[in-house]
Amino acid sequence: MRLSGTWSISNGLIATLLFSTLTPAIELDLNDEQSIKDAASTSTYSMMGWYYGNETGQIPGSFPEKWWEGSALFLALLQYWHFTGDTTYNSLMSEGMQWQSGEEGDYMPSNYSSYLGNDDQMFWGLAAMMAAELKFPDVEDGFSWLSLAQGVFNTQTARWDTTTCGGGLRWQLFPYQSGYTMKNSVSNGGLFQLAARLARYTDDDKYSKWAEKIWDWSTSSPLVNNKTWNVADSTQMANDCADSGNYQWTYNYGAYLMGAVYMYNYTNGDEKWKKPVDGLLGKTLKTFFPNGDVIEDVTCEPIKMCNFNEILFKGLTSSWLAFTTLLAPDTAAQIKPKLASSAEAAAKSCTGNNNNTCGITWYQNKWDGTTGMEQEISATNVFLANLINYNTGSFGPVTSKTGGNSASDPNAGSENDDEKKMKPITTGDKAGASILTLIFVFGWAGAVAFMMLGG
State the pLDDT at residue 193.
Answer: 98
State the pLDDT at residue 441.
Answer: 45
User: pLDDT tens digit string along 172-191?
Assistant: 999 999 899 999 999 999 99
State the pLDDT at residue 443.
Answer: 44
Cα of 385 vs its chain's centroid, Å:
14
H or E element at residue 236: strand 234-236
Tell whether pTM > 0.85: yes
How far is the C-alpha of 142 from the C-alpha of 148, rounded, in Å?
A: 10
State the pLDDT at residue 451.
Answer: 38
Contact partners, residue 286, CB within 8 Å, separation at least 6: none
Kindly give the confidence (pLDDT) of every residue in the chain, 455 residues in length, as a single tens digit, with 9 standing for 90 and above. 544 444 433 344 444 444 444 568 999 999 999 999 999 999 999 999 999 999 999 999 999 889 999 999 999 999 999 999 999 999 999 999 999 999 999 999 987 877 889 999 999 999 999 999 999 999 999 999 999 999 999 999 999 999 999 999 999 999 999 899 999 999 999 999 999 999 999 999 999 999 999 999 999 999 999 999 999 999 999 999 999 999 999 999 999 999 999 999 999 999 999 999 999 999 999 999 998 799 999 999 999 999 999 999 999 999 999 999 999 999 999 999 999 999 999 999 999 999 999 999 999 999 999 999 999 999 999 999 999 999 767 789 999 999 999 999 999 996 655 555 544 444 444 444 444 444 444 444 444 443 333 33
Size of the chain in residues: 455
3-state secondary structure at position 182:
strand
How far is the C-alpha of 188 from the C-alpha of 219, rounded, in Å?
A: 11
* C-alpha closest to that of 384 among 32, 40, 25: 40
* C-alpha closest to that of 259 among 452, 267, 46, 305: 267
What percent of the chain has pLDDT above 70? 85
Evaluate whether 129 touches 197 at the Cβ level (below 8 Å). yes
Q: Which domains does the chain show, CATH number per domain?
A: 18-452 (1.50.10.20)
Alpha-helical runs (H) found in 267-331:
271-287, 308-311, 313-327
32-61 b/e with 16+ CB inside 10 Å = b? ebebbbbbbbbbbebbbebbebeeeeebbb
* C-alpha closest to that of 143 among 154, 151, 133, 135: 151
How far is the C-alpha of 221 from the C-alpha of 162, rounded, in Å?
A: 13
291 DSSP assignment? B
Residue 227's Cβ-count burial label (10 Å; 0-12, 13-18, 19+) is: exposed
